[in-house]
Amino acid sequence: MGRGLAEQSMVFVQVIVGGLLLGAIYALFSSGLTLIWGMMNFINFAHGEFVMLGMYAALLVVLYVGGGPVAFGAAAALALFGLGVVIYLALIRHVVRGPMLSQILSTFGLALLLRYTAFFVFSANFVSLPQTSLSGTLDLGGIFLPVAQLVAGVTAIVLTIALHVLLTHTTIGSRLLAVAEDRGAAMLMGIRPDRMQALAWGLSAGAAGIAGALLATAYPWSPTVGETFGLIAFVTVALGGFGSVLGSLYAGLIIGLIQAISAYWLGAIYKDIVVYGLFVGLLWLRPQGLMGKA
Amino acid sequence: MTCGVARRRICGGVRMLLEAHNVAKAFGSFWAVAGADLAVEEGEIVGLIGPNGAGKSTFFNCLAGDTLPTSGRILFDGIDVTRATPEAHARAGIGRTFQVPTTFEDMSVLDNVMVGAFLRHPHRGDAREHALRIVELTGLRPDQPGRSLGTPGRKRLGIARVLATEPRLLLLDEALAGLTPGELREAIALVRRIQETGVTIVIVEHIMEVIMTLTRRVLVFNQGKVIAGGTPEQVVKDEAVIEAYLGRGARSHSRESGNP
Amino acid sequence: MKYLFFPPTGVCCLAAALLLFPMVFSDAFYRDIGVAFLLAAISASAWNIVGGYAGQVSVGHSMFFGLGAYAPLFCYTQWGWPPLAGIPVGIVLSVALAVVIGLPTFRLSGHYFSMATIAVAELIRIFFGTWALVGGAVGLQGPAVARGWWDLTFRGDLAYYYIFLAVLGLLLFVTFEIGRRRFGFYLRAIKASERAARSLGVPVRLTKLKALALSATFTSAAGSLYAVKTGFIDPDSGFGILVSVQMLIVAALGGAGTLFGPLIGALILIPLQTAANTWFGGSGSGLTFILYGGIIVLIARFEPGGLHDLWRRAAPHLWGRAHAA
């Protein structure tokens, strides 16, 4: 009986660690979503699709250019950064001051467009990255962790903190926050709100893109994952507080944990139900989340 | 225009329609309003002036129910409305206009005013009649689309709309800014007409002409407090007021002019 | 009559056309499209009450549709009830859900409501897929053979067509009446500026809740009609995102917030969808969705008022040219 319990607790610890590592990646892409909310009071319904595209970008780089994790990570980040800026310039800045209907329809329609274009181009099959330098599993005292998961999770935490530092301790960060705070005043100070918001969209999409590349190293995917990740991003941002990157970090880890434990105790099909249920509960009880403004 | 039951509040022999006692509002650690008092008689027109950032807009929003005061009490006809919602304010008989006009763009002038009229006239026919009368009173054209109005028209529509709710107290938030001299004179005449029907008015303004001609009593705000009060003539000569607007050392007799 | 797409004579012509359509086009293929058109028009018009008039954009309206679809079939498979009796059950459930969602989200900004709708719809879809009581991933079926007229199991589409038409007529009438009364004015005021509406005494939260409840009622009815006609429902056809998207795009394309906008949208999209399915081989290839996504983005970017507004702007120029010529 003793050995059974030890094994069980090993498995449980593995589940927890796995959940935290995945949660770290949730934190990374959710911080992009929360950044846009904080900047412009705007919800991007296509954010999950940015993550999904990051995953496919990584795949394309590996298949056709043959790069390692750093290469495809950077490629995903840059590609999505560019896409974010383009989307802002072509679409978002025109709808952001319009009626609510066009604001919500704009990114919702974009989500459909991106998702089903991916379906068309890549088919509905699940794919995963071929062997990379991150393959293999580590044995840490009885806990078995895929190297990719570990590296992805740790990288995600580092990048999320880096984003937070960028926003709070650099000049460019304070400019972004100035525009978020008071557009008019920022203009009087010589800051160009349009440029800052385009930058924010680039950062937001870039964060999602890198998160996607990190996910791609450790988990298989298909075009549908965008929808799930989008909803997870909503929950994470709602829990952590709209506008708070640090809040996204804590919330992401918590969500990853909750998901993993739900899957372990209730079964894999229930992991999403628990998370979405948590979201509805949050809206009822504490819409401002852990650390943000409602 | 009458509405509701009047439970008059007697204060020193004079009826006070609106009272504010030590109202304060903090945003984080910054006290936008730091203990402001106000007493308005029924039928008065009271002006609220002060330099930008003095807290008068925040105070105004507290009176209107848009902002929740951190402390203090606001009484309307003896009833505590400190924490009442904007909707409850309207129902009680307190109306307000917005500094930046919030016209219902996709609706005609008449429909805009009808939204206000429906408060006291739930049936479409009555509401329409009432709204038409108000539209005529304010000199607007009922069928004009809301979005086709220029700023003066929008401000006027804002006033018409809130008038349709039959307020006993009307809070005007810089309702006369941005008008040409001719439009300004018309607007002042309109406000006077409104007062003559028995509506009490509190008006936040920067334009001295409005303050001097319309109001009988003025309160001056600075740094979250009321620093002076009296007739317009008295207030303009008050040293504390001059200092508030022009800083220390400007003891000369100067009038603030123009729009912010 | 400012919010009608057509003048009164136009409405009469439209009504006559709809009434006579299945008589003139008696081939099953056309009747099928007619029924699909009516169903889409009903769903979109129901969505329109809360999404178009009140401006509260629900992107998960399938939750009401699905509940309305499951209820009659569940009542039939569980207790042998006629599906007709299950329709009110669906409505009650949908209204309850509407209140549960609306109460917390309507005191926050509009985005919260939209996010909640998409999350709840997904939640219910996944949940129903795992719940054996409602058939899990397989779903539920209705009566194969009618035991009487109350089973609403007819051969051929004719009866369904007229039932759906009656429901559409009722819904449009209700929407029209609302538009003229205080409730309708308050909805439009809320859409235009909540802050101003509040200051005029509009009970914003309560009004939004009523709009959502009303919309949920008719959306549920649409779902019930769908289930009764196809005799089958499963989590995807009830709660799937395609259902939500279709409602939304049909209304938005024609003109959200107008009486006949959803009808116009359906008139264009249903034949388009049928054609696309034939050419591109069904929505499995995802091209329908790509098209939908693109249309939605274009509407959002260039003409949020849909074809209704586009027509309003273009018509004077067209008439002008016609008169000059």
Q: Which of A273, A207, A287, A203 is nearest to A30 (CA)?
A: A207
Q: Does residue A91 carry a pLDDT above 50?
A: yes
Average pLDDT value for residue range B180-201: 90
Where does residue A290 rank: exposed (0-12), middle (13-18), buried (19+ CB within 10 A)?
middle
Average pLDDT value for residue range A198-210: 95
Give the tokens for residue C192: 């235009």
Residue C154 identity (one-letter amino acid): F
Q: Which of A161, A163, A200 is nearest to A178 (CA)?
A: A200
Highest mean pLDDT, choosing among A24-38, A259-273, C149-163:
A24-38
**Least CA distance to B96: which residue of chain C?**
C199
**Interchain proximity A101–C57, CB inside 8 Å:** yes
**B173 phi and psi, to 5 degrees?**
-105, 95
**Interchain proximity C111–A104, CB inside 8 Å:** yes
- pLDDT band for A29, please (50, 70, 90 cuts): very high
Q: What is this model's ipTM?
A: 0.87
Going residue by residue through chain C, which has 325 residues, state the pLDDT in tens, using 9 for 90 and above: 344 455 678 788 888 888 888 888 878 888 889 999 999 999 999 999 999 999 999 999 999 999 999 999 999 999 988 888 999 999 999 999 999 999 989 988 788 899 999 999 999 999 999 898 888 889 998 887 777 777 777 777 788 899 999 999 999 999 999 999 999 999 999 999 999 999 999 999 999 999 999 999 999 999 999 999 998 999 999 999 989 999 999 999 999 999 999 999 999 999 988 887 777 665 555 788 888 899 999 999 998 889 998 888 887 777 665 555 4
Give the tokens for residue B79: 């009833």
- pLDDT band for A53, please (50, 70, 90 cuts): very high
Domain count, chain C: 1
Q: Which long-range contacts (CB under 8 A, 24 or more apart) does B49-53 make?
A: B49/B204, B49/B205, B49/B206, B49/B211, B49/B218, B49/B219, B49/B220, B49/B221, B49/B235, B50/B220, B50/B221, B50/B222, B50/B244, B51/B222, B51/B244, B51/B245, B52/B260
**Least CA distance to B163: which residue of chain C?**
C200
pLDDT for position A216: 92
Q: Does residue A293 carry a pLDDT above 60?
A: no
Residues C288, C294, C296, C302, CA torsion sign = negative
Average pLDDT value for residue range B50-60: 83
**Interchain proximity B102–C204, CB inside 8 Å:** no
Distance CA A110, CA C297 (A): 6
**Interchain proximity C290–A120, CB inside 8 Å:** yes
Residue C102 lies in a domain: yes
Query: Of C105, C287, C300, which has the smallest distance from its Cβ to A102's Cβ?
Result: C300
Distance CA C119, CA C140 (A): 23
CATH of residue C45's domain is 1.10.3470.10
Q: Which residues of A touch C115 (CB under 8 A)?
A: 43, 234, 238, 279
Q: Which of A139, A140, A142 is nearest to A11 (CA)?
A: A142
pLDDT for position B254: 47
Average pLDDT value for residue range B64-72: 91
pLDDT for position B7: 39
C253 to chain B, closest Cα gap in Å: 18
Q: Which domains does chain B have, with CATH numbers?
A: 10-102+159-246 (3.40.50.300)
Average pLDDT value for residue range B203-230: 86
pLDDT for position A172: 86
**Least CA distance to A238: which residue of chain C?**
C112
pLDDT for position C321: 58
**Domain chopping of chain A, boundaries:** 18-123+136-222
Burial C100-138 (b: 16+ CB within 10 A, else e): ebbebbbeebbbbbbbbbbbbbbbbbbbbbeeeebbeee
Residue C81 lies in a domain: yes
Residue B70 identity (one-letter amino acid): T
- pLDDT band for A256, please (50, 70, 90 cuts): very high
Average pLDDT value for residue range A223-246: 90
Residue C3 lies in a domain: no
pLDDT for position B32: 85
Q: Does residue A38 carry a pLDDT above 80?
A: yes
pLDDT for position B4: 33
Q: State in Å, rounded, how far the first CA of chain B is from the last one.
A: 34
- pLDDT band for B248, please (50, 70, 90 cuts): low
pLDDT for position A30: 96
Show Cβ contacts of residue C155 under 8 Å, excluding neighbours closer than 6 positions.
none
- pLDDT band for B123, please (50, 70, 90 cuts): very high
Beta bridge partners of B222: B225
Q: What angle do CA C247, C249, C253 make, to 5 degrees?
A: 125
B44 to chain C, closest Cα gap in Å: 22
Domain carrying residue C115: 8-324
pLDDT for position C48: 97
Helix (H) or strand (E) holding C65: helix C62-79
**Interchain proximity A283–C294, CB inside 8 Å:** no
Q: Does residue B252 carry a pLDDT above 60?
A: no
**Least CA distance to A111: which residue of chain C?**
C293
Residue C1 lies in a domain: no
Rounded CA Rg of chain B:
18
Q: Which residues of B touch C257 (CB under 8 A)?
A: 106
Query: Of A41, A99, A276, which has the smallest distance from its Cβ to C55's Cβ?
Result: A99
- pLDDT band for B8, please (50, 70, 90 cuts): very low
Query: Comparing A184-193, A264-273, C265-274, which segment has the lowest mean pLDDT?
Result: A184-193
Query: Of C182, C192, C200, which has the smallest distance from its Cβ to B162's Cβ?
Result: C200
User: Which of C176, C191, C199 to probe the B interface (max B CBs under 10 A)?
Assistant: C199
Residues 146-205 of A with CB under 8 A from C: none
pLDDT in tens, B131-183: 999 999 888 999 999 989 988 899 999 999 999 999 999 999 988 887 888 88
Give the tokens for residue B171: 């809070």
Residues 204-243 of C with CB under 8 A from A: 241
**Interchain proximity C293–A105, CB inside 8 Å:** no
C300 — contact with chain A (CB < 8 Å)?
yes
pLDDT for position A173: 87
